Amino acid sequence: MQKAKDLIKIIRREAKKHGTPLMIISKDALKAQYSLFKRFLPDVFPYYAIKANPNPEIIKFFADLGAGFDVASANEMKLVLTIGAKPEKIIFANTVKSDKDISFARKNNVKLMTFDNEPELYKIAKNCPGARVLVRIKVSNIGSLVELSLKFGADPEQALPFILKAKKLGLKPVGVAFHVGSQCTDATNYIQALEMSAAIFREAKQNGIKLNILDIGGGFPIKHFDKDNHINFETLASKIRKELKRLFDKDTKFIAEPGRFFAGPAGLLITKVVGRTFRNNKNYYYLDDGIYQDFSGIVFDHCKYQFNAIKRGHKFLSTLAGPTCDSFDTISQSEELPELEVGDIVYVKNIGAYSCASAVPGFNGFQPAKIILI
């Protein structure tokens, strides 16, 4: 986000001004991630997956940049529409939708949505006649932080029968969607998924249906630690770009659903030590933010974070815990940190996605961090 010295100045300034816990979202980082995506996947239109971080200012920022939005509910749809997103730039990308939410989509002219089972097609046909639908297929999630194919995706051999069924019901089958899993570090997942999708495109064409949209989902990896050495986005994107050109017609429209990739690197969480003790032969620090608040990603996102202290000095094996009266609210039991006192700052970079988004409001009386964009 910033050079170390400048970053410390920002942390001190904003913590003094706003208090802690505090989540800082860098507009420069948001723009940089968007620009990086457009540069290395120029033929792929991004729909920001707002579940990663639905902060209205972030949504407005991406809307102004021209992005589309991936929503999973009527409430998310209402949020992006209220902020000014165009219905034609919204994809209803939940494969299990309620009748009520599908009707809301129809009333608001959101006509592009995904499905992965036959009963869903009946619901869509009933509540949003003529909708444009993408069949989501099950693909490999090997090496991804969060495996999504456990819950979503039709077996590839089911895709064509579903496409034919969609057409029979009066819907408009327009393409294929897949998701290789969140924080994917194995390019093979994308390559295999693209090959399967291309085969479905060919089968549909042979049966008189021309598909023209491919949704490659999200899963693009970011760094959570300074020393992470997994595949970077630039390398991954070059492999994807090559396969898109090889496997699909020039008139195919490519879309994606980046969430973590857009919001993650932009987030900086600032916390303070509010208590300390010596337990189990280790320093034990209680922070003013925890598992029920902005470190919720440790549970729901299987995420690990790099913890940093402003204070310098010899480091000791330490435990970090949140402020609630619950032993489950233990953030980490194996952090190397200098000797800290009550009031000292501990901060985490690259925490803008799946953190404040899944925080519990007010559990045990503790609120998630205040969010500011700078």
SS3 280: coil
At 174 the three-state DSSP class reads: strand
* Rg (the chain; Cα; Å): 22
Q: Do the Cβ atoms of 107 and 146 come closer than 8 Å?
A: no
**Which residue in the block uniquely carries the two structure tokens 């400048």?**
6
At 93, list the tokens.
């990308």
CB-based contact 351:308 (threshold 8 Å): no
Q: 130 forms bridges with which residues in the sheet?
A: none
Pairwise CA distance, residues 370 & 60, whole Å: 18
> Which two structure tokens, joined as six digits, stand for 340?
């800290």
Cβ(217)–Cβ(196) under 8 Å? no
Residues paired with 336 in a beta bridge = 317
* Residue labelled with tokens 């902005």: 294
How far is CA 131 from each of CA 50, 117, 158, 164, 345, rounded to the nearest angstrom? 22, 15, 20, 14, 51
Write out the H or E segment, with its range, that includes residue 315.
strand 315-321
Q: Which residues contact 143 (CB under 8 A, 6 or more apart)?
A: 181, 184, 185, 186, 189
**Cβ contact 173:167 at 8 Å:** yes
C-alpha span between 270 and 346 (Å, rounded): 6
Q: Which residues are catalytic?
A: 325
d(C-alpha 49, C-alpha 154), whole Å: 21
Residues 6+ apart with CB under 8 A from 277: 284
